[in-house]
Amino acid sequence: MSRKHIRTSEYQKCLFFPSSGKEYSKGDSRYAIADHFTVSMETVTACLWGPFSIWIVVAFLYNHSYRFVLQLIVSLGQLYGAVLYFFTEHRDGYIHSEYGHPIYFWYYFVFMNTLWIVIPFILIVDSWCQLSACQSMFDKAALKGKSKRS
């Protein structure tokens, strides 16, 4: 293998992440043109949901009582952002994506972004069940306390 080939290969490895961003933008050009909505949404995700997600992991590791509340907040935020993400592109007539393309539309745009709807929805249901069960236990205990005083 020549020295020039090694340099090119290393250079390509260094460019993997920017190249993958370019590749992904073929599925949604709003990332390439720095669309205001997309930039705003990704800023909220990075600055708010990212740190909250780390807080959730810590809360679960230490079994904090507020862990499901945090999970619910972040999941609702992610679900809301994903719905807006799809809806704004639908309202624009899919002008930022290669509508119908098997890779760029169906895999990058639809499948990869549908995960941001499915996973938060599952976590919302989990939070709902956990918080509802806890509230139900608390209500039963409060009802027993009232009946003993009567």
Which of 130, 39, 31 minimizes the C-alpha distance to 81?
39
Q: How far apart are CA 32 and CA 107, in angstroms?
A: 18
pTM of this structure: 0.79
Average pLDDT, the chain: 86
At 6 the pLDDT is 42
Q: Count the neighbouring beta carbons within 10 Å of the beta carbon of residue 54.
A: 10
Which of 119, 133, 113 minimizes the C-alpha distance to 68?
133
| φ, ψ of residue 28 in degrees (nearest 5) | -155, 100
Domain segments of the chain as ranges:
26-149
Tell me the per-residue pLDDT of 83-124, one tens digit each, with 9 for 90 and over.
Answer: 999 999 999 999 999 999 999 999 999 999 999 999 999 999
Tokens of 15: 């460019």
CA atoms within 13 A on the CB side of 25: 14
Tell me the per-residue pLDDT of 4-33, one tens digit each, with 9 for 90 and over.
Answer: 444 444 434 444 445 667 777 888 899 889
